[in-house]
């Protein structure tokens, strides 16, 4: 194989290979720990739903009868590392409660399951897991800036993560496996060599959305296992003449901007289990109903104004929890009816409520040029998901309105440490005893002191 010039892929691999725990500023270590905590809580909450897909997932994993290498969160049983990465990634994404970045997609539902699986295989310390996740986050975010500043995922009609997740998952796992620069780049070449994806699930509610993060996590870990054994892909897969960037119509990728600045703190945490594009309309609706206390029976119309990308998420026919996750109509109607945000797995129960169904039909969603302009100008100080909600009442034709430009959880409107702990415990205690949930919280908050990650995964078995 011809030796590639040191382009974007190799430079990214070089950063990951040489990154040390001592190189990380304390605020980065703290941020990684919080994103790790968030992922574990979400996975436990998903497991506790006992949703048919969750049950099938765990049963199928056990049926594969591979080596007992890594733990399924919630089930507490060990399966092969590849199966554990797959299952835990699906669990962490299942409720759509995972973190993300304004330039594209979710991150901890792809990377934490890979770090757990690779960490158990290598008996990694907490510090090694933190370092690997820091590397993965920085790689993911840099690639998001590099690719999607020039090419919109919304225009491609592809979810961001099918491009970013496998690459970052590969680098996270490869760091824990101790791969060298060329091996890491070759592993990325294997993981990034096919990137077909679609987001039709936003409309039809298909379960490909649920399984997608599992495929990405498994693919990243599998690529590192092959690279560890000398099977390498193209080390210029991202920037090469026939690589990912050129396939997207993008020119030169330049050099990755990693190591000099740390971007993990640009990520958001979710206060609500729904697509991030819906959080502004959810928050605006919550503000209106909690402030003005109008009865839902009096509502004649609800108008949501937002950008074009967000406005496409408006299913009225709810066939699964996936539809609920991506529907402004469902989420806004639920807030106006119940004054709270529930897990999306409660969708069938809500559809048996005639008043809720009636409200959902009254929600209209429109894109405006003003919000489309804000989307094009998106940045850390102007996230891409602002919205306003107008509620029209029967009484005297009253109208109540609220606008949210930066929903709760964004870096400029962050969740507090206490709010993140509460989110974790509320989810974890649906699967674990209160004692175990609190013990797990304490262990994760001292992740850097753990000598073997297996001591932590021993605590994730449901009651």
Domain residue ranges in the chain: 8-269+435-457, 276-404
Dihedral pair phi/psi, residue 306, rounded to 5° = -160, -165
pLDDT at 81: 98
The model's pTM is 0.95
In sequence order, which residues have a C-beta less than 8 Å from that of residue 329 and are 6 or more positions away? 314, 315, 316, 360, 361, 363, 365
pLDDT at 194: 65
The H-or-E segment that residue 97 falls in is none
Quick one: pLDDT band at residue 153, thresholds 50, 70, 90? very low
The class level of CATH for 276-404 reads alpha beta
**Is pLDDT at 338 greater than 90 in this prediction?**
yes
Percent over 90 (pLDDT), the chain: 80
Q: What is the dihedral of CA 84, 88, 91, 96, to 10 degrees?
A: -150
Q: What is 8-269+435-457's CATH number, 3.20.20.20, 1.10.4100.10, 1.10.10.10, 3.20.20.110?
A: 1.10.4100.10
pLDDT at 202: 60
Say which range, 108-122, 250-264, 447-461, has the weakest mean pLDDT: 250-264
**Taking residues 113-117, what's their average pLDDT?**
99
Q: Are 202 and 314 in contact (CB under 8 A)?
A: no
Burial of 216 (0-12, 13-18, 19+ CB in 10 A): buried
Q: Which of 19, 297, 209 is nearest to 131 (CA)?
A: 19
**Taking residues 380-404, what's their average pLDDT?**
91
Instruction: Tell me if domain 8-269+435-457 and domain 276-404 are identical in fold.
Output: no
Quick one: pLDDT band at residue 154, thresholds 50, 70, 90? very low
pLDDT at 147: 85
Max mean pLDDT among 11-20, 203-212, 233-242, 370-379 falls in 11-20
């Amino acid at each position: 194989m011809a030796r590639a010039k040191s382009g974007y892929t190799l430079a990214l691999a070089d950063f990951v290979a040489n990154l040390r725990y001592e190189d990380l500023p304390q605020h980065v270590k703290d941020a990684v720990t919080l994103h790790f905590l968030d992922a574990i809580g979400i996975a436990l909450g998903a497991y506790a739903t006992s949703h048919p897909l969750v049950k099938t997932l765990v049963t199928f994993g056990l049926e594969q009868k591979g080596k007992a290498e890594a733990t399924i969160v919630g089930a507490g049983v060990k399966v092969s590392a590849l199966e554990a990465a797959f299952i835990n990634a699906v669990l962490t994404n299942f409720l759509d409660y995972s973190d993300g970045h304004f330039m594209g997609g979710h991150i901890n539902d792809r990377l934490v399951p890979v770090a757990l699986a690779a960490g158990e295989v290598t008996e990694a310390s907490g510090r090694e897991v933190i370092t690997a996740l820091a590397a993965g986050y920085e790689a993911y975010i840099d690639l998001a800036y590099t690719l999607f500043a020039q090419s919109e995922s919304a225009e491609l009609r592809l979810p961001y993560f099918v491009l970013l997740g496998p690459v970052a998952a590969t680098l996270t796992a490869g760091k824990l496996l101790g791969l060298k620069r060329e091996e890491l780049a070759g592993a990325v070449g294997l993981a990034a060599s096919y990137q077909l994806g679609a987001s039709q699930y936003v409309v039809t509610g298909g379960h490909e959305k649920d399984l997608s993060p599992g495929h990405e996590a498994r693919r990243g870990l599998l690529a590192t296992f092959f690279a560890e054994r000398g099977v390498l892909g193209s080390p210029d897969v991202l920037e090469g003449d026939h690589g990912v960037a050129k396939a997207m119509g993008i020119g030169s990728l330049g050099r990755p901007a990693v190591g000099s600045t740390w971007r993990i703190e640009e990520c958001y945490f979710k206060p609500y289990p729904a697509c991030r594009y819906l959080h502004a309309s959810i928050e605006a609706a919550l503000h209106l109903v909690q402030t003005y206390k109008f009865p839902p029976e009096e509502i004649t119309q609800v108008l949501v104004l937002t950008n074009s990308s967000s406005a496409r998420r408006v299913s009225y026919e709810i066939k699964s929890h996936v539809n609920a996750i991506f529907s402004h109509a469902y989420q806004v109607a639920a807030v106006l009816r119940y004054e709270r945000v529930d897990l999306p797995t409660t969708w069938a129960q809500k559809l048996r409520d005639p008043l809720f169904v009636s409200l959902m039909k009254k929600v209209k969603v429109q894109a405006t040029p003003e919000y489309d302009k804000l989307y094009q100008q998106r940045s850390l100080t102007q996230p891409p998901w602002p919205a306003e909600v107008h509620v029209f009442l029967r009484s005297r034709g009253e109208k109540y309105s609220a606008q949210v430009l930066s929903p709760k959880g964004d870096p400029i409107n962050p969740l507090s440490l206490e709010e993140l702990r509460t989110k974790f415990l509320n989810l974890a205690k649906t699967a674990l005893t209160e004692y175990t949930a609190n013990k797990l919280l304490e262990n994760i908050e001292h992740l850097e002191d753990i000598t073997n990650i297996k001591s932590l995964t021993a605590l994730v078995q449901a009651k």
